[in-house]
Amino acid sequence: MTRDHASVWDNCLQAIRKNVNQQSFKTWFEPIKPVRLDNNALTIQVPNKFFYEWLEEHYVNLLKTTIRRELGDRGRLEYQILMSHNNGNNSGLKTNGNGKPAREGIAPGMIDTQAIKNPFVIPGIKKIKIDPQINPHYLFENYIEGDCNRLARSAGMAIAKKPGGTSFNPLVIFGDVGLGKTHLAHAIGNDVLQRFPGKTVLYVSSEKFTNQIIQSIKNNAVNDFVNFYQLIDVLIVDDIQFLANKQKTQEIFFHIFNQLHQNGKQIILTSDRPPKDLDGMEERLISRFKWGLSADLQAPDLETRIAILEAKMNQEGIEIPQNVTEFICYNIQNNIRELEGVLVSLVAQSSLNQREIDMELAKRVIRNFVKQINKEITVDYIQKLVAEHFDLGVEKLQGKTRKRQVVIARQLSMYLAKNLTDKSLKAIGENFGGRDHSTVIYSCKTVQDLMETDAIFKDTVSELEKKIKMSLHEQ
């Protein structure tokens, strides 16, 4: 039977999907397109060189095994890197971006302070050095990596090591509000400044950029404005979607973009949506935004949210009980800024009221951030899921039977109730047929001892704990 490249790659994808998580599959394998099949060689097309290098570094064994399973021991994979535009150098007369010959006597990258005005300088105040407008607290070190942001963070770190010299220029970072786009953009800028002190880095919001253009038009100084921006080595423009329907601003930015790109300067853009969905933007600009790499930031999963919150707590020297931390992260799902806002509010309430941070205080604070708080983990809920896992009725956990399977399930339920709820030992015991607190203590100790000696039992406890948290979170 004759096989084509599409069917071979579809079979490969089915095998790959079983060996990587959903986010990694979506990021690294869905964008790949099969091109052709020549004997034992399948050619696939990848978006850029960085994409190819990442596959080779992290998934080469998986790809090799999968392709040989489909094409035999002599099967091999070949890459075709997509080139969406020509990066060739312009020849002939060099211009300064407005069609006029560049001024003689000014070396490339040098600022002629007499001819070019810095739009970030207040009139009347002389300032030659350009302030990068970068927040020094936004660093790669405090930008927690997860499946939700791995591509964008990896691309950003590669750019910082070689600004303007990678295959993803521009870098477009897009995603919903509060997912860390601005933090990542600043982190790239900070890293470049540290590695290359001589490079000029500049961060500007699209709103400020637009206002500067308006002022330059009023002052008849558009050429000065364009010339200033063309001397930047790393330009970061935040919230590029706000340039929509601003024709003159887009026109000027188009010329700046072209000149920077042709001169090997790095451009970093952030947006709340991918380039293809930027309504009100000129097609020629959208086309240029697609030249490099578009990396999306997605809502972090539960584990990543907990890691982000704990990192912030360590940075601020704050201690919060583990069950409160997890409760916050169950309820704040899609916005990292809100996570930080809850933390600030908790600390403020704790300080003002001179009380410890506990579950009750966390519930009160979170009501200011979300419309509906996710259902709290209860002893009843734990009993229900544990009973289902052991194929028992809940009444047996609460009864007096001493059958080994029931006793283990009962003890495990008590252990989970102690760790996952804020109930007292006495209250937990009452939920198990009126048992006293000493029985709960003994049960917890028994479970801990079993976990230390029985790896399979330990895995069962971990799986149940995660199932309780995640199933409740998804309700």
Question: Angle at the Cα of 24 (from 333 to 75), degrees rounded to 5?
Answer: 170
Bridge partners of 370, per DSSP, are: none
344 vs 365: CA distance, rounded Å: 10
pLDDT recorded at residue 129: 63
pLDDT band at 83 (very low <50, low <70, confident <90, very high): low
Token duo for residue 249: 């601003």
0.95 exceeded by pTM: no
What is the predicted pLDDT for the residue at 332? 79
**Contact (Cβ atoms closer than 8 angstroms) between residue 235 and residue 263:** no
Token pair 């007369």 in the structure block, residue = 93
The mean per-residue pLDDT over the stretch 160-173 comes to 90
pLDDT value of residue 82: 66
Weakest-pLDDT range from 19-33, 189-203, 406-420: 19-33
Locate tokens 């996952």: which residue?
Answer: 420
pLDDT tens profile 272-317: 999 988 989 999 899 889 888 898 888 888 788 888 888 888 877 7
Q: For all residues of the chain together, what is the average pLDDT?
A: 81
The per-residue DSSP string of 176-243 comes to STTSSHHHHHHHHHHHHHHH-TTS-EEEEEHHHHHHHHHHHHHTT-HHHHHHHHTT-SEEEEE-GGGG
Q: Over range 193-221, report the average pLDDT.
A: 90
Burial-class residue 123 by CB neighbours within 10 Å (0-12, 13-18, 19+): exposed
Of the candidates 293, 361, 329, 13, the one whose C-alpha atom is nearest the C-alpha of residue 153 is 293
**Residues with Cβ < 8 Å from 431, sequence gap 6 or more?**
379, 380, 383, 398, 417, 423
The answer to whether 140 and 157 are in contact (CB under 8 A) is yes
Token output for 377: 């983990």
> Which residues have CB under 8 Å from 468's CB, separation 6+?
377, 381, 382, 385, 416, 420
Q: Are strands 33-38 and 41-46 parallel, antiparallel or unpaired?
A: antiparallel
Exposed, middle or buried by CB within 10 Å (0-12, 13-18, 19+), for 273?
middle
**What per-residue confidence (pLDDT) applies to 84?**
44
- The highest-confidence range among 2-16, 24-38, 94-108, 192-206, by mean pLDDT, is 192-206
pLDDT value of residue 160:
93
How far, in Å, are 29, 61, 63, 272, 336 from residue 58 at the CA level? 12, 8, 10, 29, 28
pLDDT > 70? residue 105: no
Beta bridge partner(s), residue 175:
297
pLDDT at 58 (0 to 100): 80
Q: What local confidence, expressed as pLDDT, does residue 174 receive?
A: 92
Cross-sheet strand order for the sheet of 293-297: 201-205, 234-238, 266-271, 171-175, 293-297
pLDDT digits (tens, 9 = 90+) for 318-362: 888 887 888 888 777 777 888 888 888 888 887 777 778 887 788
Give the integer Cα–Cα distance in Å for 302 and 331: 10
Q: Which amino acid is at 286?
A: I
Under the banding of pLDDT at 50, 70 and 90, the label for residue 97 is: very low
pLDDT of residue 101: 32
Residues 6+ apart with CB under 8 A from 36: 5, 42, 43
Quick check: bond before 274 cis, omega within 30?
A: no
Task: Kindly give the residue spans of alpha helices, DSSP state H, lying in 272-399.
Answer: 283-289, 302-316, 322-331, 336-353, 359-366, 379-389, 394-398
Please give the pLDDT value at position 242: 92
User: Is the predicted pLDDT of residue 419 greater than 90, yes or no?
Assistant: no
382 pLDDT more than 80: yes
- Of 20-24, 184-188, 285-289, 403-407, least confident by mean pLDDT is 20-24
- Structural domains for the chain: 5-81 (3.30.300.180), 150-297 (3.40.50.300), 302-366 (1.10.8.60), 379-474 (1.10.1750.10)
In a 10 Å sphere around its CB, with 0-12 CB exposed, 13-18 middle and 19+ buried, how is residue 51 labelled?
Answer: buried
At 47 the pLDDT is 77
Residues of the chain with pLDDT > 70: what percent?
Answer: 86
pLDDT greater at residue 378 or residue 435: 435
| Residue 235: predicted pLDDT | 95
What pLDDT, on the 0 to 100 scale, is given for residue 185?
94
